Structure 1
């Protein structure tokens, strides 16, 4: 059937996969997958990393890696099997009948081309409009996806736009030719929660208006639960179950699906217990302010942190939440002694670290340690896990190797890392195991405070639940104090006792998690809470 015939066939489902099996280098990674999507419907493919959901989505649009191929089954677009089409034939469908909204807006846009020229490119390939009409259509599309000053945006380059703006540009490209199917591959994973909500609302509006079918590929089960008409749960390349979203959520058939949804903070309904008794603060932040110079003699400074104060009682968890640019990272660097505030104090165990320098400041790092967001990037790939965990001891203490070894083995046991793994390199571990190594390294010096900077955001939901459980167990057994930095308010509510909400450097809400979530005092906090995906279903 010709491309035009596919365009005109409205009797069949927009997309059907029939017993699709996909292999890499001859080894099957997706097994006998079948599903369909009708016009105007959202089907979410959910599952952990390596489950096969992205490979399945890539096969539909003909973007498998060179060593990947379809072993059996059919991919039918409006009733026509396109699974064996050549890349040349698929080129006629891409953008016109099937569009892709990729995960990372920064790497998906050409940094040396203007926004307008990149939107125009899809029109040039498929429509060849006169330049005046084409440019008008570009502005129309940028307006449609909610970009302010679209004529100006068309002349700008990607680096001049925020992440949310860049994702809107990708959506403009995806909808330019009103495709029958949009594949949205983790379309909001790199965005702040309120920007994420606006992008998902936009995709919903466009779907309802044009009847476009949406295949939503995501590891965020809360988003899938809130946005999809139907769910398909992947595990090890196989479909565990599929069905209407409400039915899968309320009565999952497989043990795996039940556990998967139980691990989602926004859907589980689990909250951290109240603090039984208020202990003395181990970390005290008083009126901290920090400015960055914008350069030039007469340029005003940019205030990144504006008169922020809070305290964390010993053995509790305090969260810093806010969107990109809110001041979370700057404040964390001040608390860790990497930057000096322009005014205010930071006391750890009663000692003002803002007055320290040199060796005295270095020794403060024994009291406060950091666990980074990305465990792979923060671990030396050339070291064994034993050496990674041991290294802080070599930097701060002169103790016999036998004692160091026992300390390393003890902390590895505490974070549930088997001893036989300690001789391996970071690349040989899963993401969850690497994060356990990062936590062990931070704990080896027995610090008073652990700063967790988006420490679970790069992990699958099941692994994230395991790490959160580990953190709670360590806190209970060792009396640790945590500063948890996150944009994920559902996780914050689950793990934290208290919270500070930052907006453009200012603390707009602070208090117990229960009070802030139940009665936020600022419109900004209310918007953040309202944007939590899945919270309405959980309620």
Structure 2
């Protein structure tokens, strides 16, 4: 059988600042049969995306295809000139990017953008392209497929935008689609919807795919075969089940093991320390205000949380539940409409500008994307010494010595001191991000999705680092995530956020079993398992949900009512649920007595 994609001895080189070249991809050979999905997996910098983009005849600025052959659907891509390549891209092969939010033009309607490839490649006249777009919206299980295209990107969720981007990639009916980490930034429940939509449409149309990812549980659901890459070279390849269940290469085994993150056996022992941070009746929103000064649209509504000194509180929930808004509010970057923040026993002003220098020093943020907060023109040493000078007045040799100590604390070699962020890997940049926060000598660190974009090996190392810092420095943390594995690896306690409400608080170690809020059960059951067939099982279970149409959510009603199979009619939709104490200090906001909630078995959600 002739392969639809054939890569033989591919080499891609990049140019250093001094003009010399370095190999990015080295002697890579692979084949993809028609109708097959191939997964490219490996850590950051392994060459996954570089190889995937080379199938389209594209390399990043400063790089070049320096050797080998690339054949896709009968085209020798490595020999194509610019004009044929423009016709080839988008028509024969199309691309689905990782971040749909930044790929769409915010000033244009989605319908106009989705049909653009069909019009620019002269595949269909406008009227037919519009009809095909609606058919694709329907196939992608998008709400209101006839009218959703009239909306703008900012009006849709991340999962909806990702499916719309797939529709745009499919509208020309290409033979090959490249998926570049399309579900990395999605929460677990949205990820299931997107993966199932992708898989169903590709199977129906017999499209060949290449799926770039570092999430091995996703690989198990979507890929027929997998190629493991390291340092730009293939270290293992074969059927997905064999690569994931019986890896042969040492690095492949390391990658699989890293995907099974360690779990804390129990919550921290001993009495609960006094809180370093307490939030009381926090309300954040926008729009018109009522007589009490409360906004009509609320992102956070009545939040009550506390972080014990020296402990890690995990905040988990779907995209849009208010996690990042919570972090911004605590940091003083987002104004609150009501409620109080007490930090180290004193009230904290809502705006960061009105906080004292000492309060600002003691509360630090480690952002998700280190590239957005580390100045690419400065050396790592200069970045750290700036913080040390600003908060502690350290200069010269004293500042340098402290900066080197911080690098050692986050397990980075001292040689990093003279390097700049663009010269570092994703994991190294995130460690520098940590060191910069620690340079202030804080009491509380806000970690906002710090492992979301990292591969399993690097993510496991960052989580281990966080746990060690907590143990050695007595650091208090709020750990924002949508990854339950990461949460259980480092957190003492967890708060489950939905629609701006805390629906449950419990020990992190108990989250995978026992009695929980129905929404917590949904999150746990949505954690992908690293075995083929898991997605089919979950999809079948969810199709059995409830036959009755969900009631509208009234002000004060349970935020989960529209998806809850156990909802009580005329109560859950408009009566605020009471907070019921559970075992081990758990608190669950639900109208059902805890005895009526079915227990969650460990095997139901543990991967």
Report the equivalent of 1:457: 452
- C-alpha deviations, 1:14-48, integer Å up to 9, x for none? 22223333344665432222222223322100122
SS of corresponding position for 2:147:
helix
SS of corresponding position for 1:118:
helix
Aligned partners of 1:135, 1:416: CA distance in 2, in Å?
Answer: 54
Report the equivalent of 1:304: 299
Contact 2:43 2:458 in 1 (8 A): no
Report the equivalent of 1:283: 276
Unmatched runs of 5 consecutive residues or more in structure 2: 16-20, 533-605
Pair 1:196-2:186 in alignment: no
How many equivalent pairs are there?
527
Pair 1:378-2:368 in alignment: no
Aligned partners of 2:166, 2:189: CA distance in 1, in Å?
Answer: 17
Contact 2:284 2:335 in 1 (8 A): no
Contact 1:96 1:179 in 2 (8 A): yes
Pair 1:148-2:138 in alignment: no
The equivalences for 1:188-227 within 5 A come to 188-227=183-222
Report the equivalent of 1:5: none
Aligned partners of 1:382, 1:23: CA distance in 2, in Å?
Answer: 24
For residue 280 of structure 1, report the CA deviation from its aligned partner. 1.2
For residue 498 of structure 1, report the CA deviation from its aligned partner. 1.1
Contact 1:281 1:311 in 2 (8 A): no
Give TM-score, length-normalised by structure 2: 0.78
Check 1:241–1:346 CA distance in 2 against 1; reply closer, same or farther (3 A cut).
same
Unmatched runs of 5 consecutive residues or more in structure 1: 1-10
SS of corresponding position for 1:485:
strand
Report the equivalent of 1:170: 165
Report the equivalent of 2:325: 330
For residue 71 of structure 1, report the CA deviation from its aligned partner. 4.1
Report the equivalent of 1:477: 472
Aligned partners of 1:307, 1:443: CA distance in 2, in Å?
Answer: 31
- Please give the root-mean-square deviation of Cα atoms over the aligned residues, in Å: 3.1
The equivalences for 1:480-519 within 5 A come to 480-519=475-514
Pair 1:12-2:6 in alignment: no
Check 1:535–1:514 CA distance in 2 against 1; reply closer, same or farther (3 A cut).
farther
For residue 347 of structure 1, report the CA deviation from its aligned partner. 3.1
For residue 382 of structure 1, report the CA deviation from its aligned partner. 4.8
Q: After the TM superposition, which of the residue ranges 119-128 and 192-201 deviates more from structure 2?
A: 119-128
Aligned partners of 2:125, 2:299: CA distance in 1, in Å?
Answer: 47
For residue 512 of structure 1, report the CA deviation from its aligned partner. 0.7
Matching residue within 103, 107, 111 for 2:102: 107
Aligned partners of 2:343, 2:353: CA distance in 1, in Å?
Answer: 17
Pair 1:524-2:519 in alignment: yes
Check 1:517–1:416 CA distance in 2 against 1; reply closer, same or farther (3 A cut).
same
Pair 1:121-2:110 in alignment: no
Aligned partners of 1:78, 1:97: CA distance in 2, in Å?
Answer: 8
For residue 499 of structure 1, report the CA deviation from its aligned partner. 0.7
For residue 262 of structure 1, report the CA deviation from its aligned partner. 1.9
Pair 1:249-2:244 in alignment: yes
Pair 1:228-2:223 in alignment: yes
Check 1:214–1:287 CA distance in 2 against 1; reply closer, same or farther (3 A cut).
same
SS of corresponding position for 2:511:
helix
Report the equivalent of 1:38: 33
Give TM-score, length-normalised by structure 1: 0.87
- C-alpha deviations, 1:60-92, integer Å up to 9, x for none? 122234655444433334566444233444445
Aligned partners of 1:401, 1:77: CA distance in 2, in Å?
Answer: 57
Aligned partners of 1:451, 1:183: CA distance in 2, in Å?
Answer: 35
Matching residue within 8, 11, 28 for 1:21: 11
